[in-house]
A and B are shown apart, each in its own frame.
Chain A
Amino acid sequence: MQMYDMPDERGHFGPFGGVFVAETLVEALEELRVMYEKYRHDPEFLAEFAYDLKHFVGRPSPIYHAKRLSDKVGGAQIYLKREDLNHTGAHKINNTIGQALLAKRMGKPRVIAETGAGQHGVATATIAARLGLECVVYMGAEDVKRQAPNVFRMKLLGATVVPVESGSKTLKDALNEAMRDWVTNISNTFYIIGTVAGPHPYPMMVRDFQAVIGIEAKEQMQEMIGRQPDAVVACVGGGSNAMGIFYPYIDVEGVRLIGVEAGGHGLSTGQHAAPLTANSPIGVLHGNRTYLMQDEDGNIIETHSISAGLDYPGVGPEHAWLKDIKRAEYVAITDEEAMTAFHNLCRTEGIIPAMESSHALAHAEKLAKTMSPDQVVLVNLSGRGDKDINTVARLANITL
């Protein structure tokens, strides 16, 4: 069997990925590419990364058999990879540690990040505080309003949060603004991108740092059930938690990989953030070529999702590739379905999931129903829902 070996040297996953940036950023990306190549297999670097994952993040994160949920749903057994138990409450910290350690080795005293829900911003502020790096986080002004607790968290950790007022004032605009900062402060600044998008080497590098999720899961499933799951389900905005758990499974036959996009108010309404499921055209944004929600003039259209972390018009180029080669499947879950799954997990298992992860849970429930009780669905529970309680309360017209 031919082993999966992507991307190519210049970051292409078939027609996707690449380095689509202005000349002003090319050298910085080249420097990063060279440094990452130097350290990605360096035993000392990997040991330091592993040490922090264990002692600072609390890895390995457990896998939990959600028995009551499985019984309630009826069908396959649902297992949860508990990334919600990580320090800072989501998978995002895995990647920020990897990149921050690289920033230190590159002698960059300042890190910047973009954030949507605020999880990546918090994770970046956290590791910046721990390593003594200056930290600036760009966040869409809309998201600053939606995610006030996370904004405060970042400030407590010593980061400067810059609300971005341009464009749609969400994640994509925060990314634009972070890129502008980077271009201006290239000599002393490392840009910590939070998802498997952006120009090469980011999609590959973020995937590699998140792959710890899938590597652990393979071992843990073997220990727990003596085999691998029949399906692995994860939510996809940019797609970092999904790539993290999918990647080690790509060469494992018989394991379905299913990415769950934000269906918003429903694909037919146009108000969603599901470029793969909705068959959006291919385009170029934020440094890479991928499937992209856009109008007929090639301008990026505003997306909608109840979850800020999935509210992104593109998707990581490797997901685009996995879709095209049919190694992964992509589906969409509406806001309403995600909310139902959110409450379900709270009540049946005593776990408050992130709104993002609730999309994966909702699809896992649908899927499990069509399977038999001896089959297994593994869900990447990418984050905890503490940050979302204000949103949930607002939807129920409750003032906290």
Chain B
Amino acid sequence: MSRIQSVFATLKAQGKKALIPYITAGDPHPDHTVPLLHALVEAGADMIELGVPFSDPMADGPVIQRASERALVHKMGLRKVLGMVKEFRASNQTTPIVLMGYANPIEAMGSSQFVALAKEAGVDGVLTVDYPPEECERFNQELASADIDSIFLLSPTTEPSRTELIVKQATGFLYYVSLKGVTGAANLDIVEVKKRVAEIRQQTSLPIGVGFGVKDAATAREVAAIADAVVVGSRMVLAIENSDATHLITNVQALTKELRTAIDSV
């Protein structure tokens, strides 16, 4: 059983939902990333999405783009991100790390080298935003042969026939994008999300995470009532952006605890 599967299995047995915070590697400074990962776990994160900075993050809103820009000032490339995962893994062998990013840094490194290094570093899942399933069959096979999960997005506009195609290639969990837009955009429509998540469950037994519009504890709670996991990205990155170095860890932990409590109250 992969680390991602076992997290979902354990939570299910406890009747709980997963909290998955997102941070961008190297934001605000590379020195902060590994301590932040540990701090998130300590404050209640079940799994972490670690963003790989990219110069042109087309699917992200301004908040996460600024995080990428802050990280890129420090030349935060994919190789260094993998180094951070390795460092985190040295003292944490249980919390899954999902890398979230764009295709080009992976292609620049070469997909097979990336998969080998990711495996060695202890990466559990990879979500490549601009790799729809039709364009990444070989990459998917490479990930599978290294026992790394392929996480795919489903959107409000994804037709059932396409969901069928995606769930066939997806492993670990599915990530339902709760709104039409970029990360951190307008508020999500919980009634619509509920309906779509129910539809997706007809087509797959994989756990479903929901993200792209979870702005506060109240939304996190609503989403937790529907989904298996709540992904919080822009809100988390905003907390990082608004903190000076001395308050960074405490602020991020306070937010994580608040979200944890909300999710557990379902």
Contact = CB atoms under 8 A, between A and B. Distances in A.
A298 B106 contact: yes
Given A183-B59, A281-B108, A299 B153 contact: no
A282 B109 CA distance: 11
Nearest to A294: B108
A295 to B, nearest CB: 8
Contacts of A19: 132, 134-135
A172 B53 CA distance: 17
B157 A184 contact: no
Contacts, number: 124
Interface in B126-140: 129-132, 134-135
Interface stretch (B97-105, B116-124, B141-149): B97-105
Given A283-B104, A299-B77, A20 B158 contact: no
B55 A167 contact: yes
A284 B77 contact: no
A24 B57 CA distance: 14
Contacts of A281: 108
A284 B59 contact: no
If over half of A's interface residues share one DSSP class (helix, strand or loop), that class is named, otherwise mixed; here it is: mixed
Contact of B107 (A184, A187, A282, A295): A282
B8 interface: no
B59 A22 contact: yes
Contacts of B157: 24, 26-28, 186
B158 A296 contact: no
Given A23-B177, A26-B162, A287-B130, A300 B154 contact: no
B182 interface: yes
Contacts of B59: 22, 24, 180, 183
A295 B59 CA distance: 21
A300 B105 CA distance: 10
A297 B135 contact: no
Given A23-B154, A298-B106, A167 B56 contact: yes
A298 B182 contact: no
If over half of B's interface residues share one DSSP class (helix, strand or loop), that class is named, otherwise mixed; here it is: loop
Contacts of B103: 20, 284
Interface in A21-51: 21-24, 26-28
A340 interface: no
Contact of B104 (A18, A28, A183, A292): A292
B153 A283 contact: no
Contact of A298 (B75, B108, B134): B108
Interchain residue pairs A-B with the least CB separation, the first 3: A298-B108, A297-B77, A298-B105
Interface of B: 53-59, 61-62, 65, 69, 72, 75, 77-79, 102-109, 129-132, 134-135, 152-159, 162, 166, 177, 180-182, 185-186
9 contacts: A19-B135, A22-B129, A24-B153, A166-B65, A173-B56, A184-B182, A287-B130, A298-B78, A300-B104
